[in-house]
Amino acid sequence: MANKSVFASMKGRLLPAATAKNAAGAPAYAYSDAHALAQVAMTGTFGQTYYQDPMRELARTLELAGKVDPSFLAKAAIYTRRSGHMKDMPALLLAVLAGRDPILFQAAFPRVIDNGKMLRTFVQIMRSGQTGRKSLGSAPKRMVANWLTDASDRALLLANVGNDPSLADVIKMAHPKPGNKAREALFAWIIGKPCELALLPENVQDYLRFRKTGHGHVPDVPFQMLTQLELSTKQWAGIAENASWQMTRMNLNTFLRHGVLALPTMRKLIADRLRNPDLIAKARVFPYQLMTAYQAMSADMPSDIRDALHDAMELAVQNVPKLRGQVVVAPDVSGSMSGAVTGYRKGATTATRFVDVAGLVSAAVLRRNPSATVLPFEVKVRDMRLEPRDTILTNAARLADQWGGGTNCAAPLEWLLKKGRAADLVIIVSDNESWAHNRYGNAGTAMMQVWEKLKKRNPKAKLVCIDIAPYGTTQAKERDDVLNIGGFSDMVFDQIAAFASGEMGPDHWVGQIAAVEV
């Protein structure tokens, strides 16, 4: 007989062999350059995470941005800003593009730099030297100057909040040519030069008078310009009354601290605003923004404000589809999921962790699909039951409380196999850093080995892996029945439904980005 170790049965050998090691050192599959760039662009924040420091993430992003076609790079910068609402990443990709293709750079610039904060971020990145130069260069300088001259007075005032660089620094670097005396005066005031005050915008004149006297109506200027002034509770209430939805969400503790929420009429006004479906839609609210607001609330926050955020969350995820067949959603609750979604950044670390987002996705799916099975896992599946009628925030918090342990991404699939279940759709939410599992020979990862066994029960079953950390590898090789999604936004649910129903292929972010017109 021939050597059985050489001529073993072909069963399972057609699985794709692992092509990489993940951050935990275990077998994994590497993404293509385009997919890897898309994934890091939609999830990366240049913050410290469990497995990666900011400089390693930057180096990897720059490497990928240098490998892909400049056209794809331009489209990625636009897509991640317009559809992903990312901040640092689009500015970085645009800065790289400036050195690779000046024509595409100029076409992409106005679609990426859509406000003053993005402008200052772009200039900061260009000056850092990380993309190959420490000056703006002719084309970037011209585009920055054009933005400054074309921007509205309001946009410039909003851009004038913040430093490193400040808007004054940007103006001094770009030397924009004002189109009229009023804009010339505003530029002079921003950079601290003498100017004719009567030519300044009326709200700036109001602000200067109010700052000097403390009397009169609170001027209509960006909220941040008022925070250092001595204001009464009545004046703070006026600010809150005119606040946008997002500003309200971000400043609930500020309003509480200044007595605004002690006023019954203001408390009702703010609660009604938070749960207003039209305002939620207009503000393009991400579910995790609501989770972050809820987690950051003071313990003294009135219950009706808390209730309003619960209602807002239900509205923010109302596009979660009703999925056909037997649905399983498995949130990773292992130790590496304890990292902050934005990474650890001094003074800017969010309270929302990867495990919170995993719990949020699971709770949202369960809310719309009450018969779904939820399998929180680390090395093994945790034994717990959720009540579908509980609020999304409540169930998400219960799942996040399961946190701790090693990572075995095959665990929920092994549980299904052991229980004799044949799921139609399995959704895994993880950072993909699986290591605490037994190897099944040399063919593929443990997760793919078990998935193949489950597929024998239901050949039409599909697997969706939502990767919420930009480490660059996956435990499930992308193919017709496997979709890898990087990041989490309100688009994810629609894409899961489209993939499950056969309306979308596994190219996901790459296909979405490639469809952008430049």
For residues 312 and 403, state if they share a domain: no
Give the pLDDT score at 478: 83
For residues 248 and 378, state if they share a domain: no
Strand 425-430 relative to strand 462-467: parallel, antiparallel, unpaired? parallel
Residue 13 has pLDDT above 70, yes or no: no
Shortest CA distance to 46 belongs to which of 60, 64, 58, 37? 58
For residues 381 and 431, state if they share a domain: yes
For residues 280 and 353, state if they share a domain: no
| 388 domain-assigned | yes
For residues 145 and 109, state if they share a domain: yes
Domain count, the chain: 3
Q: How far apart are CA 464 and CA 481, in angstroms?
A: 8
For residues 82 and 180, state if they share a domain: yes
For residues 161 and 258, state if they share a domain: no
For residues 297 and 247, state if they share a domain: yes
Give the pLDDT score at 172: 95
DSSP notation for 163-184: -SS-HHHHHHHH----SSHHHH
pTM for the full model?
A: 0.78
| 19 domain-assigned | no
Mean pLDDT of 196-212: 92
pLDDT, tens digit (0-9, with 9 covering 90-100), for 290-346: 888 898 999 999 999 999 999 999 888 876 778 889 999 999 999 888 877 665 555
In the chain the first and final C-alpha atoms are separated, in Å, by 63
Mean pLDDT of 249-270: 96
48 beta partners: 344
For residues 476 and 331, state if they share a domain: yes
| 276 domain-assigned | yes
| 333 domain-assigned | yes
| 23 domain-assigned | no
- Coil/strand/helix, residue 155: helix
For the chain, give me the number of helices (H) and strands (E)? Answer: 24, 8
506 — pLDDT class (breaks 50, 70, 90):
low
21 — pLDDT class (breaks 50, 70, 90):
confident
Cα 349 to chain centroid distance, Å, stands at 13
Give the pLDDT score at 276: 95
Q: How far apart are CA 382 and CA 401, in angstroms?
A: 11
Q: Of 21-25, 182-186, 275-279, 396-400, where does mean pLDDT reach its minimum?
A: 21-25
Mean pLDDT of 78-95: 88
For residues 389 and 408, state if they share a domain: yes
For residues 460 and 341, state if they share a domain: yes
The encoded tokens of residue 255 equal 């309003």
Please, what is the Cα angle at 389 between 388 and 394, to 5 degrees? 85
Surface-to-core class of residue 399, CB atoms within 10 Å of its CB (0-12 exposed, 13-18 middle, 19+ buried): buried
> How high does pLDDT run on average in the chain?
86
Q: How far apart are CA 394 and CA 387, in angstroms?
A: 10
From residue 261, alpha-carbon distances to 243, 377, 429 in Å are 14, 40, 37
The encoded tokens of residue 19 equal 């092509």
For residues 91 and 136, state if they share a domain: yes
The radius of gyration of the chain from alpha carbons, rounded to an integer in Å, stands at 25
| 462 domain-assigned | yes
Mean pLDDT of 162-181: 93
- Among 295, 316, 337, residue at a domain's last position: 316
Whether 388 and 370 have beta carbons less than 8 Å apart is answered as yes
User: 335: domain CATH number?
Assistant: 3.40.50.410
Full residue range of the structural domain in which residue 464 is found? 325-514
Q: Of 36-50, 128-142, 358-372, 438-452, where does mean pLDDT reach its minimum?
A: 36-50
Sequence-separated (6 or more) residues with CB below 8 Å from residue 47: 54, 340, 342, 343, 344, 345, 348, 349
| 161 domain-assigned | yes
